């Protein structure tokens, strides 16, 4: 803030200063120490709809709307007294015809050698356009905030709905699969009926898996994410069991394993089994039917890594980007690939273990890797 | 968080009696810079910032607590307790004058005298009562604070808001006195200008000095006279000083009036 004190180096031009003062594009005011107007230029008088004579003796705050008047008394005048100036304050002039003109105001106080105020100079700029812009910004922010709140409420509701739906579907489905199992145990069924009932039971089991996925999704989305039940486990037998189940389901395919897991690992073993089962099933579904699926697991230092690789058509870079997002399905055969939650849930399980699930794909090999730290 | 840090309490002066100075809406303890030094010789002076203003801890701001003047009064009592104050003098400007009245009724042993500078128990005209503003005017004030940045956003740059401990960051900014977070300023305005303390004025029985300025648009003369009528043990002094802040515009007159009362 520069208060002009030095005499002007320019020679005075007759009439020039008065013209500049009176017909400037901004309003100039001088007030006494009591903030009563001593002199006003015609610019601000015109804005207000008064003559410059009318303004004489009026308190500066009388030119303002009620908000500005109170703000002036409680904040601006104290500020002026304390620091000697204020800058860029947004106020509104209350004009004689009831109109309001948004303005920016600067002011400084001239003081005597004891620091007592002598007079105050005020400069007033029109800021209608700027005010309009601010109003627009404010409006845009309000709309955005409302939309966001609305979206958030809808999204919470949707996910709660999914969770409740998943939960409520489980019981009737349990009755169907349980009933089918009991029917199968009877010897009285014809071969054709038995195969139909068996199909029903398998469909029921498949549906239960889909519901489990939906519930996991809802859990991951709502609240704190997937909750783990961690304890130290020797993982090799657990992982081998997952692989042998899949071998039974896909008897014509080769799944090779290579594990080096001597130490127990602190983890949620059923959840890690879920990751592995999901990755191997994906590899069997999407990988080349002739090539083997390779499962590697090792624990070295404080890193545990589990990877599943297959050969076949690579995943496009675009698809790789979206791979771990929920409801991601392969475009081509969407009818067969379920809800598209498997990889999302697997990556959420990885995240819950403070680890990560990544994917890399080339012409030769597509590999999914889960990696976590085993140090606490 | 202790109250002394929360409210940026600054203790100075010497003397067995303490004098606490409370600033009003729109400012901070700098409001007393021309007045408080005059009492340092014979009193212990206590200056502070209300939460949200000046160097107070903005994180301590609670919408719920500061929705009523009682929340601010609680802070004053807490400061009093931490400093083990008893029979002190309370000097409150503007809205803080009413906080002093609330405290005097709640904790009578804390203060023995009240100095109320430009007090107003209610700003809105209601029936016979003249508060100085119509309801519509106060609504307009609150609306203009809601919709217009005025000067608050300049007074409180984000860089300071994120670094309450690093006051030097604010020194280079303009308008560095009376900084207030704009959101808090809006809420404080609401709490201040919608308050109605008319019923409790009689509850403060200790001697009170009312300093009434001439031409005060915030607290006109009728308001000062009303406060004087409602407070049985009060003395009204009409000052020559104009405006709402005689502590800044007429410090000598303010000091003399307070000294005469004490």
How far is residue B14 CA from its own chain's centroid? 23
Sequence-distant (6+) residues with CB within 8 A of A270 are A229
**Residue B197: pLDDT band with limits 50, 70, 90:** very high
pLDDT tens, position by position, A132-186: 888 898 889 889 999 999 988 888 888 778 778 877 888 888 889 999 999 988 8
B240 vs A336 pLDDT, higher one: B240
pLDDT tens, position by position, A271-298: 999 999 999 999 998 899 999 999 999 9
pLDDT at A13 over 70: no
Chain A touched by B157 (CB under 8 Å): no
**Residue A223: pLDDT band with limits 50, 70, 90:** low
Architecture of the domain defined by A231-373: 2-Layer Sandwich (3.30)
ipTM: 0.84
pLDDT tens, position by position, A34-44: 999 999 999 99
Kindly report the average pLDDT of chain A as a whole number.
87
pLDDT, residue B118, reads: 94
- Residue B114 neighbours by CB distance under 10 Å: 25
pLDDT, residue A15, reads: 66
> Is-same-fold flag (A16-126; A231-373)?
no
Architecture of the domain defined by A16-126: 2-Layer Sandwich (3.30)
Contact assignment for A34 to B249 by CB distance below 8 Å: yes
- Domain A142-221 belongs in CATH node 1.20.120: no
Give the domain ranges of chain A: 16-126, 142-221, 231-373
pLDDT, residue B205, reads: 87
CATH fold for domain B3-122+197-261: Rossmann fold (3.40.50)
Residue B249 among the catalytic residues = no
Q: Which residue has the tokens 């003397």?
A: B15
Of B30, B141, B242, the CB nearest to A82: B30
Give the domain ranges of chain B: 3-122+197-261
Q: How far is B43 from chain A (nearest CA, A)?
A: 24
Chain B touched by A77 (CB under 8 Å): yes
CB < 8 Å to B218, chain A: 70, 73-74
Q: Which residue has the tokens 């409420």?
A: A153
């Amino acid at each position: 803030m520069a208060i002009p004190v030095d005499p002007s180096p320019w020679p005075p031009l007759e009439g020039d200063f008065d013209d500049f003062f009176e017909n400037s594009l901004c309003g100039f005011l001088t007030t006494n120490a009591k903030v009563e107007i001593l002199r006003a230029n015609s610019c601000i008088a015109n804005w207000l709809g008064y003559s410059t004579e009318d303004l004489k003796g009026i308190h500066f705050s009388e030119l303002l709307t009620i908000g500005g008047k109170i703000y002036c008394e409680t904040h601006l005048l104290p500020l002026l007294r304390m620091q000697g100036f204020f800058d860029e304050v947004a106020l509104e002039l209350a004009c004689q015809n009831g109109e309001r003109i948004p303005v920016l105001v600067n002011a400084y106080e001239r003081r005597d050698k004891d620091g007592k105020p002598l007079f105050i100079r005020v400069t007033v700029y029109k800021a209608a356009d700027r005010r309009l812009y601010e109003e627009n910004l404010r409006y845009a922010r309000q709309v955005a905030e409302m939309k966001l709140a609305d979206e958030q409420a809808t999204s919470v509701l949707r996910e709660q709905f999914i969770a409740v739906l998943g939960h409520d579907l489980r019981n009737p489905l349990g009755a169907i699969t349980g009933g089918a199992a009991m029917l199968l145990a009877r010897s009285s069924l014809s071969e054709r009926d038995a195969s139909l009932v068996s199909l029903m039971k398998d469909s029921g089991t498949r549906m239960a898996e889909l519901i489990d996925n939906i519930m996991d999704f809802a859990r991951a989305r709502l609240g704190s994410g997937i909750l783990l039940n961690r304890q130290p486990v020797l993982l090799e037998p657990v992982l081998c069991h997952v692989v042998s189940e899949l071998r039974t389901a896909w008897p014509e395919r080769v799944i090779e394993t290579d594990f080096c897991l001597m130490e127990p690992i602190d983890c949620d073993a059923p959840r890690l089994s879920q990751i592995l089962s999901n990755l191997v099933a994906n590899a069997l579904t999407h990988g080349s039917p002739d090539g083997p699926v390779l499962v590697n697991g090792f624990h070295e230092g404080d890193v545990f890594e589990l990877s599943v690789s297959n050969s076949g058509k690579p995943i496009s870079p675009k698809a790789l980007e979206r791979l771990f997002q929920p409801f991601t399905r392969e475009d081509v055969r969407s009818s067969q690939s379920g809800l598209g939650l498997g990889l999302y849930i697997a990556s959420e399980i990885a995240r819950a273990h403070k680890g990560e699930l990544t994917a890399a794909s080339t012409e030769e090999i597509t590999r999914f890797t889960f990696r976590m730290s085993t140090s606490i | 968080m202790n109250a002394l840090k929360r409210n940026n309490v600054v203790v100075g002066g010497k003397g067995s009696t303490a004098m606490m100075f409370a600033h009003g809406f729109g400012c901070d303890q700098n409001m007393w810079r021309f007045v408080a030094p005059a009492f340092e010789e014979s009193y212990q002076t206590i200056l502070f910032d209300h939460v949200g203003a000046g160097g107070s801890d903005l994180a301590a701001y609670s919408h719920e607590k500061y929705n009523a003047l009682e929340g601010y009064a609680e802070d004053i009592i807490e400061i009093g307790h931490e400093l083990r104050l008893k029979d002190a003098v309370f000097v409150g400007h503007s809205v803080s004058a009413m906080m002093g009245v609330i405290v005097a009724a709640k904790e009578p042993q804390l203060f023995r005298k009240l100095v109320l500078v430009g007090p107003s128990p209610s700003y809105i005209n209601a029936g016979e009562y003249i508060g100085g503003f119509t309801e519509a005017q106060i609504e307009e004030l609150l609306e203009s604070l809601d919709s217009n940045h005025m000067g608050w956003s300049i007074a409180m740059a984000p860089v300071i808001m994120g670094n309450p401990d690093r006051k030097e960051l604010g020194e280079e900014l303009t308008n560095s006195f009376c900084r207030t977070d704009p959101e808090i300023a809006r809420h404080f305005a609401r709490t201040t200008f919608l308050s109605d303390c008319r019923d409790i004025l009689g509850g403060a029985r200790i001697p009170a000095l009312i300093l009434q300025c001439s031409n005060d648009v915030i607290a006109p003369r009728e308001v000062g006279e009303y406060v004087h009528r409602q407070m049985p043990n009060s003395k009204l002094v009409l000052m020559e000083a104009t405006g709402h802040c005689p502590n800044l515009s007429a410090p000598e007159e303010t000091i003399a009036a307070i000294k005469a009362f004490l």
